Structure 1
Amino acid sequence: MGSNSALYAPCPPLPNVQELVRSDPFQVPERYIRNEKDISNYADLCPPQLSSEVPTINFSLLSKGNKEELNKLDQACKEWGFFQMVNHGVEIEIMKGLKDSAQKFFKLPLEEKNRIAMPPNDIQGYGHSHVDQILDWSDKLVLVVYPQQYRKLEVWPPTPFKEAIETYSTELRRLGEDLVRSMSLVMGMEKDALLRLHQELVQPMSVAYYPPCFMPDKVLGLSPHSDKGTLGILMQEDDVPGLQIKHEGKWVPIKPLPGAFVVNVGDITEIWSNGKYKSIEHRVITNESKARISYSTFYLPHQNVEIEPLDQMVLQSPGSLPVYKKVKYGDYLKQTQKMKKEGKAHVTEVAKIGS
């Protein structure tokens, strides 16, 4: 989890996508262009109105243990793996402060941003956290914010962006802990049981910049994938859509709700729930005219935690049998890092029994 972590494969330096667009907005290098199969999948979309069917959870009611809202959480995680969350208590000023600071940071000259460049043997800093065969049309700032001993302050951005990240992440810490408590309840445990299973709740953050692209149907801002942690919370731009999730074999655009967060189930929740709640593939598309910035917060167990289906979730499964084997979380990360990054075949290959 710390510096020079063996959990992550070394990453060679990659071109800065924002600079590629600045130097020639009508050039898309071959390394970013998707193959014909990927491109044909772009049109494989659900009807736009299905976006409005993505569940919305009232966090204020949920955090108070409201039974109806807990039931909605259970259904959302089971049927969608994603939901939008309103009435979360994070002040608009805090959210706007982070967005304003990020906008200013990405407008800095490349030399300034590269002062906090991601080292080749770690994931924290500005740059790219891994290399796919086909590159994503985006640049990122990735930081581990909690626990504080995992921070690499030498790759944190300067003031005021640093303070905005600190303020926002403190609020997201509260939010994440409360969400994990609610997940614990819907999984049939006492309120703090799931938090204890984490040993310590590790909280990375990714701020991603997706430049416009004059060939938006040929690239992806973020490849299809599932998250490898417990939960993720995303703050979107209110006026620039881009996130799509896979639902019943088709891609559903997630229309931003002003002031709301998007929450998704990760691989570890899928394993703990014995597959009742599944981590869902999601991706980001680009557009021709406007850049998009997104703000993702993730919640992970400590790398030494052993993950396996919970007994009460196994009992709810067909035949009362576990679908996943026991795996140490750090080993899960190391094994999945070596595999193809797109999709979620890694869950089956690393964690499913019989694979």
Structure 2
Amino acid sequence: MSKGEVHSQCAGYSLSVPNVQSLATSLNKSTQIPERYVQSEANINPIARTIEIELPIIDLAKLIDPEFSKEEAAKLHRTCQEWSFFQLVNHGVPEELIEGLKENTKEFFNKPLEEKMVYKQDNDGTLQGYGQMFLLSEEQKLDWSDMFYVMTRPVALRNMKFWPTSPSTFRYNMDRYSLELTKVASCLWQYIATNLGVAPEVFEQLFKDHPQGLRFNYYPPCPKADKVIGIAPHSDA
């Protein structure tokens, strides 16, 4: 693989693509964006920009508080039925941990490309490592972003060769953060299960050792930001 390229794969199939962060540093306002990054959807305003929509918010602190739990659980149930997603506040994940992980991420992406490429993806279909995701053809449009992805839980799925040793706190913070996310999810399952008339233990068993991964995205400044998209519209699993 040549310098300045990153690896991407899906189910074992891989393509080499330019490193967006390196590309961005070579551009100025008069430079044309490579055609593969120009996406027609970039000029289409999402509904959320043109219409005021109040997204549902669930308060985990109220959910676990006996005084407010019944009301908040009912709100959670309605939200799951009508929206299928929500923003969670007062989740209990320590702010210092979140900020520490943000700083680790910034420091990682600011490293020289050669250092980041130590963690480049393998052609093994796992998607773990530094690079891109789901690029299957030479004609496919490219996102204006670089990505670092690792499996975090269950621990048996971790491939530690993709876990950076620098910044020195990166591994510790990823491990700690992934555990906090597991705790939050486990708490939510109990209320969702109860709302559905299912014993919480059923959900606990159903999602026991369910794969969890962390994806870190970097969106370099672009002199023609109205022509590119950080992550193209998609549906998650």
Partners in 1 of 2:219 and 2:58 — Cα distance? 28
Report the CA distance shift for 1:29/1:7 in structure 2 as closer, same or farther (over 3 A).
closer
1:303-351 CA deviation, whole Å, 9 max, x = no partner?
A: xxxxxxxxxxxxxxxxxxxxxxxxxxxxxxxxxxxxxxxxxxxxxxxxx
Match of 1:62 in 2: 63
Match of 2:134 in 1: 130
Partners in 2 of 1:222 and 1:7 — Cα distance? 16
Please say if residues 42 and 229 of structure 2, whose CA atoms lie closer than 8 Å, have aligned partners that are also in contact.
Answer: no
1:175-216 CA deviation, whole Å, 9 max, x = no partner?
A: 122222222222221112122123522111101111122222
Match of 1:341 in 2: none
1:243-278 CA deviation, whole Å, 9 max, x = no partner?
A: xxxxxxxxxxxxxxxxxxxxxxxxxxxxxxxxxxxx
Partners in 2 of 1:142 and 1:185 — Cα distance? 33
Higher helix fraction (1 or 2): 2
Question: Deviation above 6 Å: which 4+ runs of structure 1?
Answer: none
Please say if residues 136 and 223 of structure 1, whose CA atoms lie closer than 8 Å, have aligned partners that are also in contact.
Answer: yes
Partner-residue secondary structure (3-state), 1:11: strand
Residue identity opposite 2:191 in structure 1 = S
Report the CA distance shift for 1:23/1:179 in structure 2 as closer, same or farther (over 3 A).
same
Please say if residues 116 and 155 of structure 1, whose CA atoms lie closer than 8 Å, have aligned partners that are also in contact.
Answer: yes
Q: Give 1:1-355 correspondences, 5 Å limit.
A: 8-25=11-28, 26-35=31-40, 38-39=41-42, 42-46=44-48, 50-51=52-53, 53-63=54-64, 66-121=69-124, 122-131=126-135, 133-158=140-165, 159-228=168-237
Give me the identity figure in percent.
Answer: 36
Report the CA distance shift for 1:170/1:198 in structure 2 as closer, same or farther (over 3 A).
closer
Partners in 2 of 1:14 and 1:83 — Cα distance? 34
Scaled by the length of structure 2, what TM-score is found?
0.84
Scaled by the length of structure 1, what TM-score is found?
0.58
Partners in 2 of 1:134 and 1:105 — Cα distance? 26
Please say if residues 59 and 89 of structure 2, whose CA atoms lie closer than 8 Å, have aligned partners that are also in contact.
Answer: yes
Partners in 1 of 2:143 and 2:36 — Cα distance? 9
Partner-residue secondary structure (3-state), 2:118: helix
Partners in 2 of 1:14 and 1:108 — Cα distance? 19
Partner-residue secondary structure (3-state), 2:178: helix
Partner-residue secondary structure (3-state), 1:211: coil
1:223-256 CA deviation, whole Å, 9 max, x = no partner?
A: 111210xxxxxxxxxxxxxxxxxxxxxxxxxxxx
Partners in 1 of 2:182 and 2:49 — Cα distance? 35
Larger Rg: 2
Residue identity opposite 2:217 in structure 1 = A
Gap regions ≥5 residues in structure 1? 1-5, 229-355
Partners in 1 of 2:72 and 2:203 — Cα distance? 19
How many angstroms does 1:111 deviate by? 0.3
Please say if residues 27 and 223 of structure 2, whose CA atoms lie closer than 8 Å, have aligned partners that are also in contact.
Answer: no
Partner-residue secondary structure (3-state), 1:164: helix
Please say if residues 10 and 133 of structure 2, whose CA atoms lie closer than 8 Å, have aligned partners that are also in contact.
Answer: no
- Higher relative contact order by CA 8 Å / sep ≥ 6: 1 or 2? 2
